[in-house]
Structure 1
Amino acid sequence: MSWSLRKRFLVTSLGVSAAALVAAGIFLYVLFERDFMARVQSETHNQLMQLVSGLEVDEAGKVIKTQAMTDPRFRQPSSGLYWQVESKTGEVLRSRSLWDATLSTGDQPWRDIDAPEAFPGPFNEPVLVHARLISLGEGAQRQQLRVMIAVNESEVTTPTQHFAVNLLLSLLVLGLAMMVVSAAQLGMVMAPITALRNSVRDIRDGKATRVTGEYPVEIEPVVGKLNSLLEQREQMVERARSRAGNFAHSLKTPLTVIDTLLPELRNRGHHATAGEIGKQTAQLRKHADRELARARMAGGHGEPVRDVRAVLEEIVTTMRHLPRGRDIDFVIEVPQGAAIRMDRDDFIELIANVLDNARKWARTRTLIRLEPGEGEMLLSVSDDGPGIALPDMGKIVERGRRLDEGTEGSGIGLAIVNDIADACNLRTTFGPSELGGLSFSVALPAARA
């Protein structure tokens, strides 16, 4: 299953943003750590140069320190900053901060350490050591010395760790802000598509016939094509309905002429021939009537029904002017203002045929009821007529099928009901009525608020 545009945008945006934030975090951390180490190295180098400049060899050949270090931490025991000077003879000078401890590089030979390196330090704390080998003194008093500056490793790791935590929090806040911005951006990008979807829904519900509104230039061609397609479809449907109606009307004239000639055939003694011709012309007339009815269908694309009760009352008024119409008590149990998503003409055609069937068969009462459901409304029409046996239920929607030839009508009414239901994708059922006769029910799509 393909991903939606919304999901693609979110996944891509969040993925790219997360990757960019991780890369930026790593880059900034490495950059900070490198710059901080460079600053530590610069400071220890300056302190080393200050220490070397203050060393001398006295007349007795002993190394002495002639000036104090400017950083007060050298005079504070276990301060984390230390200096030490040692000679090949084992003589050692050290800062007060070392107290009685010494700096050591282990078993490594004496060498210059230009970039601070980590070694075990005093007071059980690792230190970063910066060392330089120098020669001091003249003649026989000349000595080889190793001068060292050491700083606790925590002086470097603690600030970098604090920076890492603050950087992580900052990137998290930035990530959340980017998510909010992405969501807002997505809403702006998807707004025209949402508007287009709502406009298409209105067309489906019968609230509009065209896609309206202003759209970005990227979507405007789609809107134009869609409106053109809707117009072409309407024209094709209208032409098809017109052709079907004209064809059905064109059949009625010759059928009427044939009907007028049937008495002459009977007068000449051709009773069987006249009866067969009459039977076939009646069948053709039924087909013509049915095609005329189907041509009037809008297929659910006309004006919707905004007040079902009002439309039913109009149909019932019409039924009362037909034979037996005033003898039937049509009871309408439909709330005022109930609306459905169905073409008004199709609805009238469907219910009129159902009520016409009830008018012919009901004894005294017909009940019309509308019950709301989830996303749809169930409309039922029940009468107190003789009803239909269950094996014959499927036959009543057949073309021209009449279970009682003695009853008036062409036998296509319920077949038209079936055609309209198929055209509008409606679910219909026939069954026994609670009043004792036939019950018809249809699930109608409820209008959206």
Structure 2
Amino acid sequence: MIRSLRLRLMVAAALLALLFMLGLLPALQKAFSLALQEAIEKRLASDVTTLISAARIENNQLHMPELLPDEKFDLPDSRLLGYIFDRQGNLVWRSRATADENINYTPRYDGRGNEFARIRQVDGEEYFVYDVEVKLLGGKSAAFSIVALQPLREYQQTLNGLRERLYLGFGAALLTLLALLWAGMTWGLRSLRQLSHELDDVESGARDGLSSEHPRELLRLTGSLNRLLRSEREQRQRYRDSLGDLAHSLKTPLSVLQGVSESMAQRREDREQARILQSQIERMSQQIDYQLQRASLRKSGLVRHQVALRPLLDSLCSTLAKVYRDKQVKVSLEVPDQAMVPMEQGALLELLGNLLENAYRLCLGQVRISWQGGHTQVELCIEDDGPGVPADQRERILKRGERLDRQHPGQGIGLAVVKDIIDSYDASLTLGDSPLGGAAFRINFSME
């Protein structure tokens, strides 16, 4: 399927122009053929008039001069042939040019005056014939058919030459028309290209909305898009404000509860209840963080972000190396400097932070981060040499609250947040086995 609007219009215009020219060519050829036959008829009529003016009747006998006024009748290789027949159809005179010709023609002499026709000989040769019946010749009574003939060869050659010139001319005209159409469409679609560039700037975050410098037909579209962008920004700001207010309002009660649990933990008889209370407070805190992250890290509908990956990985690995300095984790970073990810920076930080924290926490001492880029798809892979994830448990650990590692604190929401972020950006996450011996988390992003 042709996806370019300009190319579609060009193909449609080319097909219409070609069909129009194919329909016009036969009509032009027919019109030129009729005009050429009409010109031949008039010329043969004039030639017959020359014969009539040269003929004389003496003693009821037809006499023709040795040399006719029109020398074409006398030239042996002439294309003009002259004959005179009496009323019975007998040949009574022929021009010198007919000496080598054997024409089988019988005049009708049926009172119709004159006739223009085409005849075919047994050898396949065709002729135009102009036959005039004469009853008065030189002021005397006479009954003759005076005939002028011309071979069709000249007519056919002229028609073939015209056909070739028409094909060449129409071909050149079609190419010229297509070039003009291409230039016209390029100019006419310039506003759409400008709109496309502005949308690219909006997606990349370089501008907030579309300009009003567009044709009248596009203003309603650009106005609707601007309203949608404005509504989206306002809605996202309201989300951020509401989430900030929610986090602030919950922070104080949780701090109070945390203080109470610490006071209870100092009394031996309340330590078990204090431990349970602290566990529930921690769980509430993590659940609140999860819901806040899930609500705030939504993909924008129109704005498409592009974030450089290498700086974020360098920063996160540096931070995690300090957190897990006792492990002396060796990190292999196989990511080019120009690698980009179609994701908002905050969402990407949350995603990478959770995956890398898991890799550092569970590895034995080695983590590898690799990147494979393409025009439409890119893949980020995070591997470790830890225990890995059993095949029958890989789907379960992506659910909220599910954990395989019971030796470290947490509520198992990190990978659930990662899954939510990936789903909101139309990416995909697959779990597999790494050549290092542990788990391999592969994230595929669409660049379209």
Q: Normalized against structure 1, the TM-score is what? A: 0.83
Q: Is the 8 A contact 1:362 1:385 kept in 2?
A: yes
What is the match of residue 40 of structure 2?
40
Stretch deviating more after TM superposition (394-403 or 39-48) = 394-403
Deviates more, 1:374-383 or 1:232-241: 374-383
CA contact (8 A) 1:207 1:304 kept: no
CA distance in 2, matches of 1:99, 1:183: 61
RMSD: 3.7
Instruction: State the shift of 1:77 in Å.
Output: 2.6
| Structure-2 separation of matches of 1:77 and 1:28 | 35
Q: How does 1:181-196 map to 2 (within 5 A)?
A: 181-196=180-195
2:294 maps to amino acid: R
1:235 is matched with 234
Cross-structure match for 1:251: 250
Which amino acid is 1:164 matched to? R
Q: Which amino acid aligns with 1:284?
A: M
Change (3 A) 1:440 1:91: closer
Matches within 5 A, 1:9-408: 9-58=9-58, 60-66=59-65, 68-77=67-76, 79-88=78-87, 90=90, 92-99=92-99, 105-106=105-106, 108-112=108-112, 114-120=114-120, 125-136=125-136, 142-201=141-200, 203-204=202-203, 209-211=208-210, 214-262=213-261, 280-297=280-297, 299=299, 301=303, 304-306=306-308, 308-322=309-323, 324-325=324-325, 327-331=327-331, 332-373=333-374, 375-408=376-409
Residue 3 of structure 1, CA deviation? 8.4
- Displacement of 1:312 in angstroms is 1.3
Partner of 2:419: 418
Which segment is superposed worse, 265-274 or 175-184?
Answer: 265-274
Q: Using the TM superposition, name which of 297-306 and 145-154 deviates more.
A: 297-306
Distance 1:393 1:133 in 2: 108
CA positional deviation for 1:62: 1.9
> Alignment partner of 1:396: what SS?
helix
Q: Are the equivalent residues in 2 in contact too, given 1:104–1:119 (CA < 8 A)? A: no
**Higher alpha-carbon deviation: 238-247 or 191-200:** 191-200
Checking the alignment, whether the CA contact within 8 Å between 1:370 and 1:379 is kept in structure 2 is yes
Shift, 1:66, TM fit: 4.7
After TM superposition, give the deviation of residue 404 of structure 1 in Å. Answer: 4.0
Q: 1:135 to 1:67 in 2, by over 3 A?
A: farther
> Cα 1:147–1:104, aligned 2, differ >3 Å: closer, same or farther?
farther
Using the alignment, how far apart are the partners of 1:432 and 1:123 within structure 2? 89
Paired with 1:438 and 1:396, the residues of 2 have a C-alpha distance of: 12
Q: Give distance in 2, aligned partners of 1:33 and 1:397.
A: 82
Q: Secondary structure at the match of 1:239?
A: helix
| Superposition TM-score, scaled by structure 2 size | 0.83
Question: Which letter does structure 1 place at the counterpart of 2:93?
Answer: L
CA distance in 1, matches of 2:298, 2:124: 92
Question: How many angstroms apart in 2 are the aligned matches of 1:193 and 1:443?
Answer: 31
Deviations 1:156-207 (A, max 9, x none): 3332232222222221222232233333333333443344345434544556
Partner of 1:442: 443
2-side partners of 1:218 and 1:409: how far apart?
57
Contact 1:86 1:146 survives alignment (8 Å): yes
SS of the counterpart of 2:336? coil
Rate the CA distance shift 1:309–1:57 in 2: closer, same or farther, 3 A: closer
**Residue identity (%):** 24
